[in-house]
Amino acid sequence: MNETLNSAAFAIGLFGGVHDLLTRRIPNWFTFSAIGLGLGAQLWLGGWAGLLSGFLGVALGFALFFPIYATGYMGAGDVKLQMAVGAWMGWWLALHVALGAVMIGGAFAFFEVIFRGRLRAVFQNGYSFLRALLVPGLVVENLRVDQNRKFAFGVCIAVAVGLVIFLEHSGRLT
């Protein structure tokens, strides 16, 4: 059962990641369909326990990534792609995918920032982000993002799905 669900999650992550890389968008028709089909597959293959796991995977993706989207640091498509992956993989593996995607994205961003000499701008944006999180009622400054350098985070989710499946299959992730 897990292999079927994980294979579908990998295909969803791969399509979403490639589409994000090419267009800087992940379409709603794709993510919402993937969420619905994932919950249906969970119910079909795992019964009510599978449906609960899929629903918790969707909720976890939303809970982890929506605040980042709300502050302007992530696109809505990335949130919905993580939710779709969670529908297929369940909450436990979706948690690992989310953490892996953040680490992969962070590593890539770190090297890009250093390479492009944008360390000062990143610290200013990071400071603004942390202030918005920690100070209730603070008006959030508009994020200063170079639209030509928008990051396709869907690729990180896709790579993380593959990595988590590999780790689970090899027995390194239980």
Angle, helix 28-70 to helix 76-116, in steps of 10 degrees: 60
Model pLDDT for residues 18-76, shown as the tens digit of each residue: 999 999 999 999 999 999 999 999 999 999 999 999 999 999 999 999 999 998 889 99
Q: What share of the chain is helix, strand, coil (3-state, %, to 5)?
A: 80, 0, 20
Predicted confidence at residue 1, as pLDDT, reads: 56
Give the span between the Cα atoms of 132 and 139, in whole angstroms. Answer: 7
pTM, 2 dp:
0.84
Predicted confidence at residue 110, as pLDDT, reads: 86
Model pLDDT for residues 108-147, shown as the tens digit of each residue: 888 888 888 878 877 887 787 788 778 877 766 665 555 5
Give the span between the Cα atoms of 65 and 80, in whole angstroms. Answer: 9
